[in-house]
């Protein structure tokens, strides 16, 4: 018995020791396994602090870079710890890529990001400025100038919801929208990206942020970015600030205005965007009173971040810091210093990322740029990524694939089109209105370059940066197709892009619908000092109107020179750039719905009046800001 006791005491001790050691080892292992920044139950601030404490300078600078997807690989994402990718206009996985093509591409790049030491997911941006406009068969909504004509911020919010779903259908999670420029001169090639010349309307239309990102909860402090789920995307208010006020509307030029004017005209929409939780703000190429915005520390850091309390991240425009010096990229070391010092957090460096990394690293190591500035940038980028739930859901979600170009979204776009149309003239006098048009008549003429051209209908930033001509680049309904679907089957339609007078005079047309306007364009190439209807548009108006009752549709991104033709036109409609759903035009022409749109900007008489905006002295427009005739819907014959 005694020998048994002698042996059992050490055995019991050994067992207790092993038990304690196992528990301690298990606890240590669990402690080692637990990583605070990966814990969604932790506050975002705690997750940022934990992750930042683990990051090297190399990893932090990698987060500050956004590359174009072209020529990128998952290995580059991994090896350089890149924080973001983008698709510039027309930068796509393949021609007519499907949603699954986009998803597979996205996941390949995301796999590279998640393969890094810390596994920080990338954010992927794209210019979804009127729907998911780079993607084949996506719903293309009217450009912002048309949405401004609706005055309907609830509609714009719904468009944001639909656009976010279509973006997510391709795996992408960040939209470079909305553009909240206040265009003060229609000669600017981006004027159609502006909701209005009126800062109040532009501010109201920032409700699209609620659609893109979700309604912001009341407990979220002002300035904190908020993205409300896997069906939402990070939004980007652009271009900070004054881009719509440049001299003669020249793109990337100088906006000459005093501080009060900048605050009262160009700044209000940014304040509203911040209140609504916008995640990112993009800096403008333009200058304010001679100072490049990409190098303007007083406005970017001093006013935007400190005074307005914006807590999301500030992103450059495409090669925006390169343009701080002239010739472009001529003193890149200074440009990197000036841009980052100004307060830009994420730099759109499409191609020369190794040069950027080397230069910024050198600036930090030599204390020209303090580490506090790098930490500010990276913490803001991480705040947006955590708010989006990217660490929990980094992969593309195929749940939303069927939302791309869905019928519900096309119906919404059709509604937006009909609400955006502005009726400028209806009949030679008040007693003889031409609109609504009868559906049941013998023969009608449809004419003009824009009647049967989906590319012209959509304008720039559609499938490519500058836009395209033709009907084969995406899916939609042309104005001609919509007219054919709307009229009685027994009504004969004669279509001619450029009819001569003989065709018009030799047929007994009941009326003619003429669709003319501008060819597609975007920034820079769209700047115009003449604002004329593209040829042969004026010739079409001359050959048709006056010989038969005619309604002229101006399909454009801004007011054009029309005053010389108004006398011969029976009815005149500003159709803006309606997008893929031409049915919306026919809905109103034939009286299924009434005209309700109001001019979002002043329609000038002559070019020498420009710039001219409501409230200016000697205001003498052809059609004033806010003008728009109305019609009542009818039961068409």
- Choose, from 152, 185, 197, 317, the residue flagged as catalytic: 317
The answer to whether the peptide bond before residue 536 is cis (omega within 30 degrees of 0) is yes
Does residue 453 surpass a pLDDT of 60? Answer: yes
pLDDT, tens digit, 9 for 90 and up, residues 311-369: 999 999 999 999 999 999 999 999 999 999 999 999 999 889 999 999 999 999 999 99
> How far is residue 568's CA from residue 148's CA, in Å, rounded to a whole number?
28
Residue from 126, 55, 120 nearest 97 by CA: 126
pLDDT, tens digit, 9 for 90 and up, residues 545-595: 999 999 999 999 999 999 999 999 999 999 999 999 999 999 999 999 999
Instruction: Write down the pLDDT at residue 11.
Output: 54
pLDDT, tens digit, 9 for 90 and up, residues 112-144: 999 999 999 999 999 999 999 999 999 999 999
Residues of the chain with CATH 3.40.50.1700: 421-597
Does residue 14 surpass a pLDDT of 60? Answer: no
Does residue 473 surpass a pLDDT of 60? Answer: yes
Measured in whole angstroms, how far is the alpha carbon of residue 406 from the centre of its chain? 19
Residue with tokens 């160009």: 266
Share of residues in the chain with pLDDT > 70 (%): 95
Please say if 523 is a catalytic residue.
Answer: yes
The answer to whether the peptide bond before residue 611 is cis (omega within 30 degrees of 0) is yes
Residues of the chain with CATH 3.20.20.300: 51-62+126-403
Instruction: Write down the pLDDT at residue 634.
Output: 83
Residue that wins the pLDDT comparison between 541 and 221: 541
250 in Cβ contact with 336 (< 8 Å):
no
Does residue 616 surpass a pLDDT of 70? Answer: yes
> How far is residue 161's CA from residue 225's CA, in Å, rounded to a whole number?
17
- Choose, from 523, 570, 581, 587, the residue flagged as catalytic: 523
pLDDT mean across residues, the chain:
94
Instruction: Write down the pLDDT at residue 1.
Output: 41
> What is the band of 29 on the pLDDT scale with cuts at 50, 70, 90?
very low
CATH 3.20.20.300 fits 51-62+126-403, yes or no: yes
Alpha helices in 343-420 (DSSP H): 353-365, 371-387, 407-420
Instruction: Write down the pLDDT at residue 600.
Output: 98
Those residues with Cβ within 8 angstroms of residue 472's Cβ, 6 or more apart along the chain or in another chain = none
Q: Give the pTM.
A: 0.94
Instruction: Write down the pLDDT at residue 351.
Output: 87
Does residue 428 surpass a pLDDT of 90? Answer: no
Does residue 408 surpass a pLDDT of 50? Answer: yes
Instruction: Write down the pLDDT at residue 13.
Output: 54
Does residue 12 surpass a pLDDT of 70? Answer: no
pLDDT, tens digit, 9 for 90 and up, residues 137-165: 999 999 999 999 999 999 999 999 999 99
> What is the band of 71 on the pLDDT scale with cuts at 50, 70, 90?
confident
From 2.40.30.20, 3.40.50.1700, 3.40.50.800, 3.40.50.1980, which CATH number describes the 421-597 domain? 3.40.50.1700
> What is the band of 5 on the pLDDT scale with cuts at 50, 70, 90?
very low
> What is the band of 30 on the pLDDT scale with cuts at 50, 70, 90?
very low
Does residue 8 surpass a pLDDT of 90? Answer: no
Beta bridge partners of 123: 84
Please say if 563 is a catalytic residue.
Answer: no
The answer to whether the peptide bond before residue 396 is cis (omega within 30 degrees of 0) is no
pLDDT, tens digit, 9 for 90 and up, residues 370-401: 999 999 999 999 999 999 999 999 999 999 99
575 in Cβ contact with 515 (< 8 Å):
yes
Give the residue-averaged pLDDT of 275-281.
97
Those residues with Cβ within 8 angstroms of residue 78's Cβ, 6 or more apart along the chain or in another chain = 112, 113, 115, 116
pLDDT, tens digit, 9 for 90 and up, residues 210-244: 999 999 998 888 889 999 999 999 999 999 999 99
Helix (H) or strand (E) holding 32: helix 2-33
How would you classify the pairing of strands 422-426 and 443-447? Answer: unpaired
């Amino acid at each position: 018995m005694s020998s048994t006791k002698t042996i059992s005491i050490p055995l019991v001790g050994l067992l207790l020791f092993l038990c304690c050691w196992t528990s301690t080892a298990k606890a240590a292992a669990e402690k080692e396994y637990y990583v605070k920044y990966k814990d969604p139950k932790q506050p975002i601030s705690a997750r940022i602090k934990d992750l930042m404490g683990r990051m090297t300078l190399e990893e932090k600078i990698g987060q500050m870079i956004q590359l174009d997807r072209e020529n990128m690989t998952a290995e580059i994402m991994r090896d350089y710890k890149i924080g973001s990718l983008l698709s510039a206009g027309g930068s796509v996985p393949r021609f007519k890529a499907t949603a699954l093509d986009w998803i597979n591409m996205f996941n390949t790049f995301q796999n590279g990001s998640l393969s890094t030491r810390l596994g920080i997911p990338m954010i992927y941006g794209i210019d979804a400025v009127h729907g998911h406009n780079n993607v084949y068969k996506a719903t293309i909504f009217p450009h912002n100038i048309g949405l401004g004509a609706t005055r309907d911020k609830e509609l714009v919010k719904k468009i944001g919801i639909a656009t976010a779903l279509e973006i997510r259908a391709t795996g992408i999670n960040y939209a470079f929208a909305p553009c909240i420029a206040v265009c003060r001169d229609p000669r600017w090639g981006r004027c159609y990206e502006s909701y209005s010349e009126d800062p109040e309307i532009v501010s109201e239309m920032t409700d699209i942020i609620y659609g893109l990102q979700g309604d912001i909860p009341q407990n979220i402090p002002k300035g904190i970015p908020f993205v409300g789920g896997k069906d939402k995307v990070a939004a980007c208010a652009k271009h900070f600030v004054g881009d719509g006020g440049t001299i003669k509307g020249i793109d990337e030029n100088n906006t000459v205005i005093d501080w009060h004017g900048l605050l009262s005209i160009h700044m209000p929409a940014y304040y509203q965007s911040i209140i609504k939780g916008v995640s990112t703000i993009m800096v403008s190429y333009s200058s304010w009173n001679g100072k490049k915005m990409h190098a303007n520390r007083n406005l970017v850091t001093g006013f935007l971040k400190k005074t307005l309390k914006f807590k999301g991240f500030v992103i450059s425009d495409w090669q925006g810091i390169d343009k701080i010096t002239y010739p472009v990229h001529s003193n890149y070391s200074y440009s990197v210093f000036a841009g980052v010092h100004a307060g830009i957090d994420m730099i759109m460096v499409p191609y020369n990322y190794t040069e950027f990394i080397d230069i910024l690293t050198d600036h930090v190591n030599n204390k020209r740029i303090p580490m506090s500035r790098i930490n500010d940038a990276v913490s803001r980028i991480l705040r947006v990524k955590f708010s989006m739930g990217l660490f929990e859901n980094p992969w593309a979600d195929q749940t939303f694939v069927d939302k791309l170009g869905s019928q519900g979204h096309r119906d919404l776009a059709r509604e937006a089109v009909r609400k955006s149309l502005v009726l400028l003239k209806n009949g030679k006098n008040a007693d003889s209105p031409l609109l609504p048009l009868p559906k049941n008549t013998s023969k009608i003429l449809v004419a003009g370059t824009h009647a049967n051209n989906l590319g012209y209908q959509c304008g720039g930033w559609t499938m490519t940066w500058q836009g395209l001509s033709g009907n084969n680049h995406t899916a939609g309904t042309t104005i001609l197709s919509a007219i054919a679907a709307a009229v009685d089957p027994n009504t004969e339609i004669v279509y001619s892009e450029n009819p001569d007078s003989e065709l018009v005079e030799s047929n007994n047309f009941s009326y003619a619908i003429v669709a003319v306007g501008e060819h597609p364009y975007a920034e820079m190439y769209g700047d115009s000092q003449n604002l004329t209807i593209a040829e042969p548009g004026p010739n079409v108006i001359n050959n048709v109107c006056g010989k038969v009752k005619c309604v002229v549709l101006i399909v454009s991104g801004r007011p054009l020179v029309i005053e010389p033709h108004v006398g011969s036109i029976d009815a005149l409609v500003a159709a803006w750039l309606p997008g893929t759903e031409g049915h919306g035009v026919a809905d109103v022409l034939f009286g299924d719905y009434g005209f309700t749109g109001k001019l979002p900007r002043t329609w000038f008489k002559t070019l020498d009046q420009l710039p001219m905006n409501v409230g200016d002295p000697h205001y003498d427009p052809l059609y004033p800001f806010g003008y728009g005739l109305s019609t009542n819907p009818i039961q068409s014959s």
